[in-house]
Structure 1
Amino acid sequence: MNHYFVDLHIHIGRTASGRPVKITGAKTLTLSAILEQSSLHKGMDVIGVIDCHVPEVIFEIEELLNKGRMEELTGGGLRYNNTTLILGSEIEIYDENCKGPIHLLVYVPTLDGMKQLSSWMASHMKNVTLSSQRLYVSAKKLQQVVKELGGLFIPAHVFTPHKSLYGKGVKQSLEEVLNPDLIDAIELGLSSNTEMADHIKELHNYTYVSNSDAHSLPKIGREYQVVAMESPTFNELRLALQERDGRKIVANYGLNPLLGKYHRTSCEKCNTIIEENELSCINCGSKQITKGVFDRLQELRNVDNDTNAKRPPYIHQVPLDFIPKLGPKTLQKLRDYFGTEMKIIHEVPQEALEQVVSKEIATAITKARFGQLSLKSGGAGVYGKVEL
């Protein structure tokens, strides 16, 4: 088996003509730029772009195919240089069974399949040209349609306070909203990890994925997994999520949950951590409080044992742009010397790094590999920080 770097949650900010897709996404986050960044600079072997339902994006993909810059793979997915593109869509559901809106990720193996999905979505959605729009059908109906297209279904960032399965979507169990037999994996999100998620017994049935949810080019690959497959195709990815025939997730790489935007319950005005049962901020008095993932999981947990022994390791990875004093120019310098960010993060010895950047930065990159950096917790929409 070969090992591949995989990030399955990347947004498109704008189409090639400049029309918005993900409103909060960067204007530079076009499909072509994503493919170039992932292949040449990030070193991602497989990426899932989850706004491929947009008609203009479909047209851009067809142009790349017609010009010979991309090819459809026999096993599903499309190949661009050194990277496989998995066609996906992020969809919002708020049906009669949901306590609040939830985001769901769906993927299909072929461009024809995505065209069919886009056409169906357009008949049940107000604006199919935008990302993460509400689909006016039940979550179970969406699951059924995706499976009829031979697709994959993954609940997105399942613990975040806003628009997620356990954040506000359900009271206790995913079975309130979804058919548990039609779920292919669970996306953990930036503020949780395997150990935290495994305190919920029903999640023991599923493979975990850790993805970037990138809204800008630099965020691609801030979370990812190493996947054992024979080749980087859709069908091989399906087998890996099902842990069949030797295919599997080898390791998840993600932010230490302390670095996530919603790890602890915090004040929205001053970012002070709010302890249990406090109804207002002890620092500024505000009652505008966002419940954190850590605290929500304390409400949901029904298993006290440690992480399921069968799980692959979850390795806390600090993205390069989180490291203090490592700005865009320094990062480009590192790329010029060593190639992709995956090589810089995983392979380059500290002695070699020190030939290009300061000892302080080189030490921080090395410490990040072994979870030795000091971190300050994030919350209420503010990322945590690395403290040197």
Structure 2
Amino acid sequence: MNSYFADLHIHIGQTTSGKPVKITASRSLTLENILVEASEHKGIDIVGIIDCHVPEVLLTLKKLVETGECMELETGGIRFLDTTLILGTELEIYDEACKGPIHVLAFMPSLEKMEEFSTWLSKRLTNINLSSQRIYEKGITLQKVVKSLGGLFIPAHIFTPHKSLYGSGVVKSLEEVFDGSLIDAVELGLSSDTMMADQIDELQHYTFLTNSDAHSLPKIGREYQKLLLEEPSFLELKKALAEEGGRRIQANYGLNPYLGKYYETTCEKCGLKPNGQQECENCGSTRFVKGVSKRLKELSEGIKGSRVRPPYIHQVPLQFIPGIGPRTLDKLKDMFGTEMNILHEVPKHELQKVVTEKIADYIAAAREGRLQVNSGGGGTYGKVTGI
């Protein structure tokens, strides 16, 4: 078996013909651009593109297979150069049981199954051509349909405020919303890590995923995991999530939670972090965006879980590192190839042939989890402050 890097939450900004898909995403996030970026620039072996339910996206994929630019694998997924695409969708659940909104990911093994799923969804969405649409169906019904098609069901960014399983502040247990036996894994989100999530006892049953939720090409791979598989395919991914036959997640690479946009509680109006007051000392507002750190304290049983987890490495994306702008990043990739290679493999003395010693020190510290950061909150990312 071999190791493969996977980022399973990437949005499409617009279709090949220029129609919007994810409204808040970059227009450069076309299906074709994502595949090229992942394979040739990022070095990501498996990408989950989560707007594949859109009819035009499906049509584009079929054409790419017909022309030979892509190849559909018998074991699930679509191969483009060195990258396998896993067909996915992100949906928003808000039924009488779930008290949402809650975002979830569903992945299908083949174009045929995603077409069937898209047809089923089209009768339950306001607009099948857009991303992250609210589905007018019960959450458990959605789970059963996903499973009947051979798919994977994964609650998305489970602690993020506003649109996640625990982030709303209403749901205390996933069993209030879902059938726990029909969940294949959970996605942690940018403001939490394994140590934080492991405080919740009911999550002991599930594999943790760390994905980028990319809304632009540079954000692809800001969080990812390393998988031990026979090959990069849907079937092998499914086995890894279930830890079958030696397949497994070897490591999660994610932002230090302090860098996430929702780690700390912040004032909804001015963004100041409160010091325990009921009213913002800066603007007087009484409305706050509850941080993931505070929400986890409310949910925590106070003990760390007993399940043996893969290491969670506080990886800092190259774009977060002081001194690395687009031109410097291009120089690094021209010399060393993909971002995964730069982050994981290139020795410091080789990096110094392209960048200053200080930047090389930052990259080395990033791969070792030694960077100092200030925490983010209220929709604003944290920042790297030093080593």
TM-score (norm 1): 0.98
Alignment of 1:1-388 (within 5 A): 1-168=1-168, 170-276=170-276, 278-305=277-304, 308-388=306-386
Give the deviation of 1:170 after TM superposition: 4.4
Kindly state the Cα deviation for residue 275 of structure 1 after the two structures are TM-superposed. Answer: 3.8
Deviations 1:200-224 (A, max 9, x none): 0000000000000000000000000
Q: The residue matched to 1:167 in structure 2 has which SS?
A: coil
SS at match of 1:98: coil
Say if 2:169 and 2:295, in contact at 8 Å, map to a contact too. no
Distance 1:87 1:33 in 2: 16
SS in 2 for 1:86: strand
Deviation at 1:281, TM superposition (A): 1.5
Percent sequence identity over matched residues? Answer: 59
3-state DSSP class of the match of 1:134? strand
Aligned-pair CA distance for 1:263: 0.2
Q: How far, CA to CA, are the matches of 2:170 and 2:151 in structure 1?
A: 24
CA distance in 2, matches of 1:169, 1:124: 26
What amino acid sits opposite 1:212 in the alignment? Answer: S
Unpaired stretches in structure 2, ≥5 consecutive residues? none
**SS state at 2:228 partner:** strand
Paired residue secondary structure (1:381): coil
Task: Quote the offset at 1:169 in angstroms.
Answer: 6.9
Displacement, 1:309? 4.9
Q: Any conservation in 2 of the 1:11–1:50 contact (CA below 8 Å)?
A: yes
Cα deviation for residue 361 of structure 1 reads 1.0
* Count of residue pairs brought into register by the alignment: 386
SS at match of 1:181: helix
| Cα distance in structure 2, aligned partners of 1:177 and 1:322 | 36
* Contact persistence 2:165–2:171 (CA under 8 A): no
Task: Output one character per residue of 1:361-380: Cα deviation in whole Å (capped at 9) or x when no partner.
Answer: 11111111111111000000
| Structure 2 letter corresponding to 1:285 | G
Instruction: Report the residue type matching 2:79 in the other structure.
Output: R
**RMSD of the TM alignment (CA)?**
1.0
Please identify runs of 4+ aligned residues in structure 1 that moved more than 6 A. Answer: none
Q: Deviations over 1:52-90 (max 9, x none)?
A: 000010111011011100011010000000000000000
SS of the aligned residue for 2:135 comes to coil
Paired with 2:307 and 2:54, the residues of 1 have a C-alpha distance of 41
Contact 2:270 2:283 in 1 (8 A): yes
Q: Per-residue displacement from partner, 1:183-207 (whole Å, max 9, x unpaired)?
A: 0000000000001001100000000
Question: In 1, are the aligned partners of 2:39 and 2:81 still within 8 Å (CA)?
Answer: yes
CA contact (8 A) 1:154 1:185 kept: yes
How many angstroms apart in 2 are the aligned matches of 1:28 and 1:279?
A: 42
Three-state SS of the structure 2 residue aligned to 1:166 is coil
Partners of 2:89 and 2:310 in 1: how far apart? 26
Which amino acid is the alignment partner of residue 354 of structure 1? Answer: Q
Asked if 1 retains the 8 angstrom alpha-carbon contact of 2:204 and 2:307, the reply is: no
Give the letter for the 2:341 counterpart: K
**Structure 1 pair 96–169 and aligned structure 2 pair: CA distance change class (3 A):** farther
Question: Aligned letter for 1:128?
Answer: I
